[in-house]
Structure 1
Amino acid sequence: MTDIKLDRSNIVDFIGDIFKRRGADSYLGEEVTMSEHMLQGALLAEEAGASDELIAAALLHDIGHYTNEFPEDALEKGINNHHDTAGAAVLMPFFPSVVTDCVLHHVAAKRYLCATDPTYFDRLSDASVHTLNLQGGPMSEDEVTEFEKSPNLKDIIQVRFWDEEGKVKGRTTPDFDYYAPVLQRVVDRYMNAA
């Protein structure tokens, strides 16, 4: 991480710096980079007419790949880097629960959908199938029952769909700077309400 003190005035710039410095990193065997993947998620949310909060969630769902202490190639080595938990933790002070829940539970949503929708597994990329196995595979019946209690379940599932759809090689998207005002609006609304 960094020694910088993060607050509402610099969190969006901090995230933007991560996108600029690390966004070209490969995305676990996918045909898109990390930033291409996350920006595609945001664009899909925007095209669907989603709220600022869901656009933010779709954009930031994988930010945890950059916020934990596990090695960058952890998943390739068969280690679950828990990027869902790490991402939610870094965002929690600045973003509302609908955003952080979508980040925190987007991996669980994949496991949930694989357990409850017989067609969902076929939509997964090879890399998603690999990580599914590392992340515990499809949920058990008890896990499904517990997951369905999530207050933001519908939004979590929707972000998961955009996550899986946001892996199209060569798809043109706006850059991070285009979405920075969206993120700042979400941060400002949340911090003003707190």
Structure 2
Amino acid sequence: MTLDLDNICELFEKWGSNVYDEKISQLDHALQTAALAENAGSSDELIIAALLHDIGHLIHLQNENGKVNITVNDSHEAVGARVLANIFSPDVTAPIALHVEAKRYLCTIEPDYFYSLSLGSVRSLENQGGVMTSDEIQRFENHPSFLAAVALRRWDEGGKISNLNVAPFAYYSELMSKAAR
């Protein structure tokens, strides 16, 4: 599948209201995560990564005609990074590709982090590989986008608040256009 900026907007319009094992919609989660990245003073690329980090879930919904199986790892991080690679640089796609690994990493090195996870994140953790081994930790920490992925993961977990008022998706359109290749 190949995406352009219009397709990204269409995916969020069609599937963004889906609740995918959390208390808020995919769209609300994306907007909250992006707002947290922006409030932290992040680069435009990292804000876009925060906005689009779960687009792989929307692609899965599109491919499966809206059917969701939360007991299966849909590799949404890899799918999302792969389809966005023709539009955005690795500064956007690498943190997306690594944000699930960042969850596993944080649960391993910060045991209290696990207790901060939403129920949906706890459920998916085991399907995504559980906590990391020492070799996995070392490999992850050596990745050039390690810190960006960890930051994205923290915003990801923080962006799950019901009825939070944030900027609409259109607010990020110019930012995405500017960062597109």
TM-score, normalised to structure 2, is: 0.93
Q: State whether residues 65 and 72 of structure 1, in contact with CA within 8 Å, keep that contact through their aligned partners in structure 2.
A: no
State the AA in 1 paired with 2:90: S
Q: State whether residues 67 and 90 of structure 1, in contact with CA within 8 Å, keep that contact through their aligned partners in structure 2.
A: no
55-64 vs 90-99, which deviates more? 90-99
Structure 1 position 143, deviation (Å): 0.7
Kindly indicate whether residue 54 of structure 2 is the aligned counterpart of residue 62 of structure 1. Answer: yes
State the AA in 2 paired with 1:48: A
Provide the C-alpha distance between the structure 2 equivalents of 1:90 and 1:56, rounded to a whole number of angstroms: 14
Structure with greater Cα Rg? 1
Corresponding residue for 2:24? Answer: 32
Unaligned runs of 5+ residues in structure 1 are none
Q: How does 1:9-20 map to 2 (within 5 A)?
A: 11-20=4-13
Corresponding residue for 1:45? Answer: 37
Question: Can you list the C-alpha shifts for 1:70-119, whole angstroms capped at 9, x where unaligned?
Answer: 674121xx111110111011001111112111111111100011111122
SS at match of 2:74: coil
SS at match of 1:35: helix
SS at match of 2:112: coil
- 1:170/1:152 CA distance change after superposition, 3 Å: same
Kindly indicate whether residue 147 of structure 2 is the aligned counterpart of residue 154 of structure 1. Answer: yes
SS at match of 2:111: coil
Provide the C-alpha distance between the structure 1 equivalents of 2:59 and 2:143, rounded to a whole number of angstroms: 24
Structure 1 position 20, deviation (Å): 1.1
Structure 1 position 67, deviation (Å): 2.1
Count residues in correspondence: 178
RMSD over equivalenced CA pairs, Å: 1.4
Structure 1 position 135, deviation (Å): 0.8
Provide the C-alpha distance between the structure 2 equivalents of 1:102 and 1:48, rounded to a whole number of angstroms: 16
Kindly indicate whether residue 69 of structure 2 is the aligned counterpart of residue 74 of structure 1. Answer: yes
Provide the C-alpha distance between the structure 1 equivalents of 2:166 and 2:176, rounded to a whole number of angstroms: 16
Q: State whether residues 33 and 155 of structure 2, in contact with CA within 8 Å, keep that contact through their aligned partners in structure 1.
A: yes
Provide the C-alpha distance between the structure 2 equivalents of 1:18 and 1:181, rounded to a whole number of angstroms: 18
Corresponding residue for 2:166? Answer: 173
- 1:99/1:72 CA distance change after superposition, 3 Å: farther
Provide the C-alpha distance between the structure 1 equivalents of 2:167 and 2:20, rounded to a whole number of angstroms: 19
Q: Percent same amino acid among aligned pairs?
A: 42
Provide the C-alpha distance between the structure 1 equivalents of 2:33 and 2:6, rounded to a whole number of angstroms: 20
Question: Can you list the C-alpha shifts for 1:155-194, whole angstroms capped at 9, x where unaligned?
Answer: 110000000000000001111111111111111xxx2xxx
TM-score, normalised to structure 1, is: 0.87
Provide the C-alpha distance between the structure 2 equivalents of 1:34 and 1:166, rounded to a whole number of angstroms: 10
Structure 1 position 66, deviation (Å): 2.0
Unaligned runs of 5+ residues in structure 2 are none
